[in-house]
Structure 1
Amino acid sequence: MKMKMKNNTLFLVEVAVFSALALLLDLVSGFIFSRIWPQGGSVSIAMVPVFLMAFRWGIKGGVATGFLLGLLQVVSGQAWIGHPVQGFIDYFLAFSVVGLSGLFVHSIQQNVKAGEKKKAIWIGTGAMFIGSLLRFLCHFVSGIVFFGSGAPEGQPVAVFSLIYNGTYMLPSFILSAIVVSLLYTSAANVLVRKTA
């Protein structure tokens, strides 16, 4: 009972800390890239803390951290919301689904504990790609439904949304995968949660 309560407390603290770190990373990148994507979005490593929580705690850690990141973006005034449904999709849903990369937590942790860092990194990169792709799909759909008027004349809305969201999501995935891989290469044992 005592150990379970300690784990719950640790989980809540880590979700709060990693969500705040993700917001800070997003603020920095938003400041740097704000003029490039006028309707929101930027090349960012804000997904890194979400991925780390997903790889430490599984889906619940990743989804909780992603959801809280979306909430923090909204309450801090960083969110660009034109419609409540768009706000839900672009912030709450988009960052929550990044946490689904936690589906691979057991495989990653087992490989790290077995000293198979390269295998863990490959599995983790695949997991990060899935999480990033799911986030991209949320922004892509939102772009079609809510931002279609921003498409250049004669360009299909789907193509506009694909290009607009792809130009920051692909680099964000690549940068996040590099950062997480470097962290796992240098400090894998620290990043794997100790279980009782």
Structure 2
Amino acid sequence: MKNTKTKMLCEAAIFIAMAEILSLIKLYEFPNGGSVTLEMLPIVLFAARYGCGWGAGAGLVYGAITYLIGNKFSIDWTTIICDYFLAFVALGFGAGLLSRRKWSVYYGTLIGGVLRFLVHYLIGVFVWGVYMPDEFFGMTMTSPWFYSLLYNGSYMLPSIILCVVVFALLYKPLKKYFTSADLLAA
């Protein structure tokens, strides 16, 4: 039992570090935060292997580290708590809901990604909406609900799709890790 927890904590540390490294490789970054990256990949994989409780914990640690050492953008404590801590807890929790199944990484990416999007979306409406520009993507902005949907959806949807594609490309060679077969055999 002790050996299993030690292995899991070491794996969590490695996956959190990998997520932090992947967050630095940005395909596109918006001026007020949010970028298209693969940072969700390791958190989703960890949660798909160990479940929603451990996934939420890994998400919390990743969110804290990202905010503390990253070059991130926030305006007050609510944006720090929601955009970093709560968003990645939601990612890890959602990604672990259907853990240790054949398609866990895909379901986890979709469920966790949508939950993370919802956190960003709601904080975008209630806090960032005050800073809504008059025009975004060539459209006149009159509603913080629509603005937050456009803003957060324009980086979260590509990030979710990118993670699913990478998991699909790596599924065959890493299947035993994606389905947790290596853990179940031990």
Q: TM-score range by the shorter chain?
A: 0.7 to 0.9
Q: Which one-letter code corresponds to 1:5 in the other structure?
A: K
Match of 1:150 among 131, 149, 158: 131
Match of 2:183 in 1: 194
- Distance in 1, matches of 2:169 and 2:50, equals 20
Offset at residue 131 of structure 1 (A): 0.7
| Structure 2 residue 90 is matched with structure 1 residue 97 | yes
- 1:20-45 CA distance string (max 9 Å, x none): 1101100121xx533xx111000111
Residue of structure 1 in register with 2:28 after alignment: 33
Structure 1 residue 60 corresponds to structure 2 residue 47: no
Contact residue 41 and residue 163 of structure 2 kept, 8 A: yes
The alpha-carbon deviation at position 145 of structure 1 amounts to 1.6
| Aligned residues with identical type, % of pairs | 34
The CA distance in 1 between the partners of 2:148 and 2:105, in whole Å, is 27
Determine the C-alpha separation between the residues in 2 that align with 1:142 and 1:190.
34
Question: 1:48, CA displacement in angstroms?
Answer: 0.4
The number of residue pairs the alignment matches comes to 176
The offset of 1:150, in angstroms, is 2.9
Matched, 1:14 2:14: no
Structure 2 residues not aligned, in runs of 5+: 135-140
Indicate which of 42, 45, 53 corresponds to 2:35. 42
Q: CA RMSD in A?
A: 1.6
Query: 1:167 corresponds to which residue?
Result: 154
> Which 5+ residue runs of structure 1 have no aligned equivalent?
109-119
Whichever structure has more strand as a proportion of its residues is 2
Q: Is the 8 A contact 2:20 2:66 kept in 1?
A: yes
Are 2:43 and 2:58, in contact at CA under 8 Å, matched by a contact in 1?
yes
Alignment match, 1:125: 106
Counterpart of 2:40, as a letter, is: M
Does structure 2 conserve the Cα–Cα contact (< 8 Å) formed by 1:11 and 1:61?
no
1:75-90 superposed matches below 5 A: 75-90=68-83
TM-score (normalised: structure 1): 0.83
How far does the alpha carbon of each residue in 1:154-186 deviate from its partner, in whole angstroms, 9 at most, with x for none?
A: 521110000000000000000011112222222
Q: Which runs of 4+ in 1 moved over 4 A?
A: none
Question: Is the Cα–Cα contact under 8 Å of residues 109 and 160 in structure 2 kept in the other structure?
Answer: yes
Structure 2-normalised TM-score? 0.87
